[in-house]
Structure formats: C-alpha cells, structure tokens
Amino acid sequence: MITNLFNLDEIRANYTFKGEYYDFTTLNNGHINNTYLLRFDNDGTEKCYILQQINTAVFKDPDVLMANYVGVTDFVRKKVKEAGGNPKRESIKVYYTNDGKPYYLDKDGRYWRVINYIINTTSYNFPDNTEICRKAGKAFGNFQKLLADYPAETLAETIPNFHNTVSRYADFEAAVKADKVGRASGVQKEIEFFVNRKKDCSVLLDLLEKGELPIRVTHNDTKLNNVLFDKKTGEGICVIDLDTVMPGLSLYDFGDSLRFAGNTAAEDEKDLSKVKFNMDFYRSYTEGYLSAAGDSLTETEVYYLPFSCKLMTLECGIRFLTDYLNGDVYFRISRPEHNLDRCRTQIKLIEEIENLYVEMLSVTQSIYSNLK
C-alpha cells in the first residue's frame, strides 16, 4: 500500500507545466498506483496533467518500468501518427523532469511520473450496453495489432510471472500453508474451490511449451476502465495503464477483459446474486475484438478464447484470496474483507462461465467464421 501524502510543490518545481497551478483531484480507479489530476489555468483555458505515484512495492524497478513505458508510448504515438490519427488523443505522452528524466524521485524516495490528460473522454467501470463492450473489444484488439511488431526482446518483465497461472497457484498454496494472519480456517470453502481447479492453471502454459500458442506483446491489465472513450464519437480511442505491457499470450488480455466487462456487477459486489456472466456482453466484446485482431490470431488462440475467460477469472480470484490470506498487502482495500469479497465475485463468475461454456464456444466460432 502507498501513502497519499505528497509534496506537490516539490514535484511541480521539477517539471515545466503550462499555466498557473490551480488545484488537484484524486483519480484512484485502479488498485495499485495513486493517480491525481493536476489543473492549471493557462491564460484562461484549463490545462490538465496526470500525476501518478508509482507503486514501488509492486513495480520494484522504476527505471526498468519507465524504460518500458516510454518505449511503448513512443511506439504507439508513432504508429497513430503514421495511420493519420491524432496522437494527442490516441496515445500517452510522458513528460520529462527539468533534468531530463521520465520520472521524478522525491526527497522521501517516492517515484512520480507525469503524463498527458486526454480531455473529453470517459471511462467505464461497468459496460452500460453492448456497444461499449464492442468498442472496448475493438480498442484492445487494435492495441494488440498496434504492438504486433514492437521489438519484444527490448521489453523487460516489469512483474515477473505476472500471468503465470502455475506460479500464481503456487503462491496461493504457500499462502494457505503459511496462514500468516490466521484467516485460512474461515475461508475453507473458497480454498477448496480453487484446489479443485488446479489443473486449469497449466492448460495454456502447456500449449505454450508445446509451441501451440505464440508469444505476443500484450497489455496484461485489460480492465474496461483502462480504455478511454471519446465523449463525442463514443469510440474507444486510447488504451491506458501500460505498466504491465510485456511479452505474453493474447488470451491473457482477452480473458482478463471479459472477467471484468462480462460481469453484471462490480468486482467487489457483496450481493452475489447480482454477479452473472453476461453473454450479450461476451458476444459483442468478441465481435469487436475479432473484427480488429481476428486476422492476426491463430485458430488455436481463437479456440481458447472462452477458456481464457475462465482462466483469468480463476487467476484473479486466486490472487485476491492469496492477498487476503497474506493480510491485504498487495491490492488497495477500502474495507476489512474487501479482498475476500472480490475473491467471491470471481468464484461466482467462474461458476457462471463453466455453465455457459458450450454456448461461449459456439458463439465464438460463429463470429470467427463470419469474419473469414
């Protein structure tokens, strides 16, 4: 967890912002970094910047993180320009400190970065309708295509084994065994649920090892709220939160998106009767995604799209429970059993996906064959 206290004067003195500082607001949508919106009065018009405190408990090497981040954002900006798009609205730009660094290390040892704020956009924590899902699918599909020829060998693993579901499971087993804060006895049902699905954790990694799935440059944190939608056109114009762009499987991005966007309720909903997997959202997201990325995917990747939804939900459920067992040391929480509530919504979603699985397979295949 990271602290909210910071010295804005010190940070401001190390950057050249346009206009006169006005105020800031907190924009904490995610569970990891602290994010603020800084507002300036630039000769009567408002100029905003995004300031983020990098969570160094999670991203242990800020130099490596920012080298990846600058590499990817510069690459995307160039691609957007080449395609005739508007780089100011469709890509992220890192602002450098006055002494030429892509981050600022403050006197208390905290790391900060400043990026552009894209005006007249909105993001969703919940897809209000199928069109939002279709557009989100298209945005993430495009993002994947945009990075298809990024030199993957230059990307460092900002969090090693991030979506390695076998090692995530091993961490979970270790947390159960250690039972650091004495919570294991109260969550036996949840533990058993994951133990019964241990074999799912190795399915994609086995295929990767056999050479049946390709490594790609992937986003790795494809929550719906990581897409900015243009307020005027409604299109998903910019994919944000690029800390975890790393080599990975396309299936990680697809599955993680539906884990979040396919859920009819919030990730931390306490009333599990509200948590369902919405097949209409699945269909429209898949249509959007395949319309953008479909021709670059292999048939094996497409076949495993429904499975990826189950696997990424399983991974996230395991991570929430692991953090609960470890004493809530990773994800930001705002109530005592927050991680357990999050884990329970993931369990409910996995049950839903298991029941809908055959339908998901046939919906996916029919969308895919219509594209060909």
- Name the site residues for ligand GN1 (rule: CB under 6 A): 30-32, 58, 221, 223, 241, 244, 267, 316
Q: Give, as ranges, the residues between 165 and 224 that touch Mg ion (CB under 5 A).
A: 221
The residue with its CB nearest to ligand GN1 is: 30
57 vs 371 by CB, closer to ligand GN1? 57
Min. distance of Cβ 163 from ligand GN1 in angstroms?
8
* Residue of 213, 216, 240, 235 lying closest to 92 (CA atoms): 240
The entry of ligand GN1, Mg ion, none near residue 58 (CB within 5 to 8 angstroms by kind) is: ligand GN1
The entry of Mg ion, ligand GN1, none near residue 219 (CB within 5 to 8 angstroms by kind) is: none
> Which among 99-107, 187-195, 235-243, 278-286 is the span making contact with Mg ion, rule CB under 5 A?
235-243
The entry of ligand GN1, Mg ion, none near residue 230 (CB within 5 to 8 angstroms by kind) is: none
Handedness of CA 302, 306, 311, 316 (dihedral sign): positive
| DSSP class of 243 | G
Cβ neighbours, 10 Å, residue 129:
11
> Which among 105-113, 115-123, 241-249, 262-270 is the span making contact with Mg ion, rule CB under 5 A?
241-249
Handedness of CA 211, 362, 227, 203 (dihedral sign): negative
> Which among 30-38, 53-61, 111-119, 152-160 is the span making contact with Mg ion, rule CB under 5 A?
30-38
Tokens of 138: 């298209």
- Interatomic CA distance for residues 48 and 23, integer angstroms: 10
79 vs 219 by CB, closer to ligand GN1? 219
Q: Is 255 in the site for Mg ion (CB under 5 A)?
A: no
Exposure string for 360-372, b = 16+ CB within 10 A, e = fewer: beebbeebbeeee
- Interatomic CA distance for residues 124 and 240, integer angstroms: 13
